[in-house]
């Protein structure tokens, strides 16, 4: 079996869970974020995709989700609360000055992330076109 064929199911699962996190498909299910992390660990451990790439993509997804004002505020807050986890992994994986510089830039982005209020969507009366 080729490495790409072995990677595909793990990669698909991780990406699918990532899309669910990013789009707040189940915003009242915070364990979804833990499932996403678990799928990322499997991907990094069992495929050629390394832990650095997984941690970096996970951090970016969580930070982008936290900044998306179209999503529910409590979901964005959950994502921001979990963003330190891949950041911690990136720090542990940093092996040279360039990687530490990138980690520092990510840490600054997390520290400066401001949770603006989410957009509220007024409900339209049923049957009334806008």
For 78-99, write each residue's pLDDT tens digit.
999 999 999 999 999 999 999 8
Q: Which of 47, 72, 71, 61 is nearest to 16 (CA)?
A: 61
Q: Are 110 and 84 in contact (CB under 8 A)?
A: yes
More confident residue, 46 or 79: 79
pLDDT exceeds cutoff 50 at 1: no
pLDDT at residue 120 in the model: 81
Q: How far is CA 21 from CA 6, 9, 13, 41, 59, in A?
A: 24, 18, 12, 16, 12
């Amino acid at each position: 079996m080729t490495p790409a064929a072995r990677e595909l199911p793990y990669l698909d699962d991780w990406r699918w869970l990532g899309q669910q996190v990013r789009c707040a498909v189940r915003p009242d299910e915070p364990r979804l974020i833990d499932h996403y992390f678990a799928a990322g660990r499997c991907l990094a451990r069992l495929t050629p995709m390394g832990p650095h790439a997984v941690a970096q993509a996970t951090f970016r997804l969580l930070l982008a989700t936290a900044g998306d004002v179209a999503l529910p505020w409590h979901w964005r807050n959950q994502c921001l609360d979990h963003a330190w986890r891949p950041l911690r992994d990136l720090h542990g994986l940093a092996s040279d000055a360039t990687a530490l510089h990138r980690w520092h830039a990510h840490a600054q982005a997390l520290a400066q992330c401001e949770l603006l209020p989410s957009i509220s969507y007024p409900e339209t009366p049923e049957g009334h076109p806008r």
